[in-house]
Structure 1
């Protein structure tokens, strides 16, 4: 029986991954970590471990200890923030990760958007800002609203809001800047694409789908 550790197991990606494993005819031992102890109740895990955030030095220590204690053979980090930290330490983790080098893991949505565009893949029109005065011009470049305001980095719709006009956009961005939760250049404005939301997951290994 394969013994798997899923980090960020309580998030949407982690829950879906665990469900996919449980839907298989093969049986798995699945341990899961998450910094939110309540989210840990969502996936069907054999072992639940409340972990520190990925930015805490004790995060990797806990992962290593969990791998040894539960005889884990494969570590699947769900959020990209944890994938990057685990990739940086993968040589010292006594289990497979199948992760690329940390610099390949793109957490910045703007970087991903540019890479897709360079490879002739259609993407939503995107603008960046550096100050409050840039918001008018950036918002106006889309014509009429609504326009997505979102943080370049982060998961779960981090700092995202669909704004109908430039006043809403300014209020939203200025709110988080004043709270010192973000800087102006942490935000980007993106074209709103009308229609149903679609999510697509793919599995890649050594550059091949």
Structure 2
């Protein structure tokens, strides 16, 4: 796998390949202070969008890709946006972003999950969702899954959902855990789906896949 996937904390990731980068769900201003071509936000909550202004200002040619609820928050950049609609695919250079509707839990809003593809590499991001249904047949290399519960899948619910996939995922990455233990989640996932590798991400570091 040639994607470099760096964890930025909470649900934030910076994905890079061939000198091009995609930022997903920048949870704080500092997480937006990176070089990149695209920023994607799964939904409008501030812990998934706060880094957008810093990113767009640092990268004057960058494009914000998100559903209409997110875009309404950032009218300042209205000339540099692409609206993410369920079932559509947005292509930018070698990046292909497929938009898949999720289901936000408590404090619900429109949550648009994304399957990112670049050549033979792929990465899925759930945002805040209580079901992974849209990814069951996606055939991804890596999937980032929230485990906080209430707002999203809990650890046990996430594992229950992952068992429904047509083929076991090669790699699962827990995110958005708050008081949950990502290490315990990975241990339980390994017991239930031994062919799936679970990686606990370290903030500011590239995943070792």
TM class, shorter-chain normalised?
0.3 to 0.5
Q: Computing the radius of gyration over CA atoms, which structure comes out larger, 1 or 2?
A: 1
Q: How high is the TM-score relative to the length of structure 2?
A: 0.34
